[in-house]
């Protein structure tokens, strides 16, 4: 499998056909019937077919479709939008070409297309409760950047900014909940609509430590793993270790990821082996952990059994990907 651009922000979108037409429809917001009409009338998008006759599109085609849909939503005719896209591609200006190259967008990226600017804009529109505008901004960013960079460089910092604004008394609880849940809903959606996962592989379980309620980083890790085609079972906040052990045995999970941010939850993680005794006895289950407390107090890396996944989400996803490949898919 060709590794997607999780670890190299300059990498081009994959041209490997991975997404079926239903998934492409959900990822782009374009109805399946419309996709079929476009393909028949314009030869767009470019898809391949499985031996069973099912269409598959690549990551690159999904980006092209999002770009065209954005132009159509702005009032451009479909054929004109497709021709404009092809013109940009002939000139080598797509996907890096700004939206304003064709027509002014209602929410065009600013002149300084840096992640910090997008982060500030996304935070700004969420804090004034303008979720439709936030949706449009995310759609435009997905046409310009990879999902990995959007999650790591924009969504994560925005969640932090929103939490900090609440902590500093600058916004109400209601505003914090509305803004954070808007981003969480998108992360959960992206986690469920990633590329087709590896066949025959049980999901990796993602769980917060007992009494750990901060789940943003765990959600982002779930999106990154799904982008790497690993199926995930997302449990979320404050999972009792006894229940976690039961689920691991029920679904025969190849790996468990545990997240802790502060002292009390991380202390509870020291006890996980008693709920997964078969792991201690030589089972191949991978148990990885991470979170803010392991960066602030590195001594906890030695106190908690298992594998410390790294100091950043990008590093954590990379480490887990390598462990899963070695344990589950050595051929990869």
Averaged pLDDT for residues 79-102? 67
Averaged pLDDT for residues 111-120? 71
> Which has more pLDDT, 273 or 283?
273
The top-scoring range by mean pLDDT among 1-5, 14-18, 133-137, 310-314 is 310-314
Distance CA 211, CA 237 (A): 8
Least Cα distance to 123 among 154, 147, 98, 145 occurs for: 154
The pLDDT of residue 94: 67
pLDDT of residue 290 exceeding 90, the answer is yes
The pLDDT of residue 77: 84
Give residue-wise pLDDT tens across range 213-239. 999 999 999 999 998 889 999 999 999
Distance CA 154, CA 149 (A): 7
> Which has more pLDDT, 5 or 119?
119
Ramachandran category for residue 289: left, alpha or beta (phi over 0 → left; psi -120 to 50 → alpha) = beta
The top-scoring range by mean pLDDT among 11-15, 284-288, 293-297 is 293-297
Averaged pLDDT for residues 184-189? 91
pLDDT of residue 100 exceeding 50, the answer is no
Distance CA 16, CA 5 (A): 12
Distance CA 199, CA 191 (A): 17
The pLDDT of residue 111: 39
Per-residue pLDDT band at 175 (split at 50, 70, 90): very high
> Which has more pLDDT, 11 or 263?
263
When mean pLDDT is compared across 41-45, 107-111, 131-135, 171-175, the lowest value belongs to 107-111
Residue % of the chain over a pLDDT of 90: 44
Averaged pLDDT for residues 163-186? 93
For the chain, the average pLDDT equals 83
Residue % of the chain over a pLDDT of 70: 86
> Which has more pLDDT, 84 or 155?
155
User: What does the CA dihedral 32, 36, 24, 186 come to, rounded to 10 degrees?
Assistant: -40
Q: Answer yes or no: same fold for 115-192 and 204-327.
A: no
Averaged pLDDT for residues 45-50? 81
Distance CA 286, CA 276 (A): 11
> Which has more pLDDT, 233 or 47?
233
Architecture of domain 19-101: Orthogonal Bundle (1.10)
Domain range 204-327, its CATH number among 3.40.190.10, 3.90.230.10, 3.40.50.300, 3.40.50.280: 3.40.50.280
pLDDT of residue 10 exceeding 50, the answer is no
> Could you state, in order of their start, the residue ranges of all structural domains in the chain?
19-101, 115-192, 204-327
pLDDT of residue 274 exceeding 80, the answer is yes
Instruction: Give the CA radius of gyration of the chain.
Output: 21
Per-residue pLDDT band at 331 (split at 50, 70, 90): low
Which residues, in sequence order, are bridge partners of residue 258?
Answer: 207, 289
Architecture of domain 115-192: Orthogonal Bundle (1.10)
Averaged pLDDT for residues 32-58? 84
> Which has more pLDDT, 138 or 246?
246
């Amino acid at each position: 499998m060709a590794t997607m651009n999780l670890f190299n922000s300059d990498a081009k979108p994959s041209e490997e056909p991975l997404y079926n037409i239903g998934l492409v429809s959900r990822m782009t917001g374009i109805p399946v019937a419309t996709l079929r009409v476009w393909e028949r009338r314009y030869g767009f998008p470019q898809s391949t077919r499985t031996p069973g006759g099912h269409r598959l599109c690549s990551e690159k085609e999904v980006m092209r479709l999002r770009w065209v849909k954005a132009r159509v939503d702005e009032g451009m005719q479909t054929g004109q939008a497709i021709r404009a896209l092809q013109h940009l591609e002939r000139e080598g200006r797509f996907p890096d070409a700004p939206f304003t190259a064709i027509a002014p967008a209602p929410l065009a990226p600013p002149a300084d297309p840096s992640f910090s600017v997008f982060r500030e804009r996304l935070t700004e529109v969420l804090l004034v409760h303008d979720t439709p505008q936030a949706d449009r901004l995310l759609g435009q960013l997905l046409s310009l950047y990879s999902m990995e960079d959007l999650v790591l460089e924009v969504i994560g910092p925005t969640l932090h900014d929103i939490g900090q604004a609440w902590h500093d008394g600058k916004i109400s609880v209601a505003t914090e909940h509305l803004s954070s849940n808007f981003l969480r809903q998108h992360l959960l959606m992206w986690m469920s609509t990633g590329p087709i996962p590896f066949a025959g592989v049980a999901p990796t379980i993602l769980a917060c430590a007992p009494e750990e309620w901060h789940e943003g980083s765990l959600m982002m890790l779930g999106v990154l793993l799904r982008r790497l085609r690993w199926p995930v079972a997302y449990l979320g906040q404050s999972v009792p270790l006894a229940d976690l052990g039961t689920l691991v045995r029920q679904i025969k999970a190849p790996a468990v990821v545990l997240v802790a941010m502060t002292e009390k939850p991380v202390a509870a993680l020291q006890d996980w082996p008693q709920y997964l005794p078969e792991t201690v006895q030589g089972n191949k289950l991978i148990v990885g952990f991470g979170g803010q407390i392991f960066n602030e107090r590195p001594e906890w890396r030695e106190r908690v059994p298992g594998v410390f996944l790294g100091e950043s989400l990008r590093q954590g996803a990379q480490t887990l990907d390598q462990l899963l490949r070695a344990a589950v898919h050595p051929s990869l």
